Structure 1
Amino acid sequence: MAGGSAIRGSRVGAGPMGEAERGDAAPRLYVSYFCSQGHETKPAFAADAQVPDTWDCPRCGLPANLDSKNPPPPPRIEPYKTHLAYVKERRTDKEADDILSEALQALRDRRARGEVIY
């Protein structure tokens, strides 16, 4: 006779399998969303939940909507801006020239006083 447990293949506390023990599943609504790459996504929602107009495509990450003929376009990606580009947005060329001349004059004054400038 082989030794072993009488409940081999199940874990302690496990009950019988099936819908009868767990109850019926909540009613669900499957909605199709379409992205500009042609992917279709069908997330499940509760039957009484409000369905969102847009959904992110899990395959490509682009936005998707309910209209298969007219999916939303991919978002426009702005190029990386440098610190100088942000400064140029805030300041005019005249203001930049004024600030530069003030900074240069301050350095010249320090040098004239004999301060060490690195």
Structure 2
Amino acid sequence: MADRSLRGMRLGSQSLQSEEGVTFSPRVTSTYQQADGTTFEVTFAADAEVPQVWESPKSGQEGILLAADGKLTVLEESDAKVPRTHWDMLLERRTRGELEELLNDRLDVLRARKGQQKVGA
């Protein structure tokens, strides 16, 4: 028969391990301010590079890092990454002429397949 002391405990609800002897890594808390003036905090490892922009976990809006004196940090142009689109990535691998040829080939296949389908089905 099962031990009665475990009967009241729910499976997976509590860890049986303690934090005794565990050393946590050093952390820093950074504050970000959204365009509407709302602030939120994010905790990073002390040795991590803290980004100047972070998305709020509650609102989804971007916040700009506040300096220790409470002023907004200035965004550097070199740090801002311009997002690449799928089209940009395609143009890195193929020329526009190659892409047009591939498109025409696929369109021909689709047109041929459509021509084989029964009309009115």
On whether the aligned pair clears a TM of 0.5, the verdict is no
TM-score, length of structure 2 as denominator length: 0.43
TM-score, length of structure 1 as denominator length: 0.44
Larger C-alpha radius of gyration, 1 or 2?
1
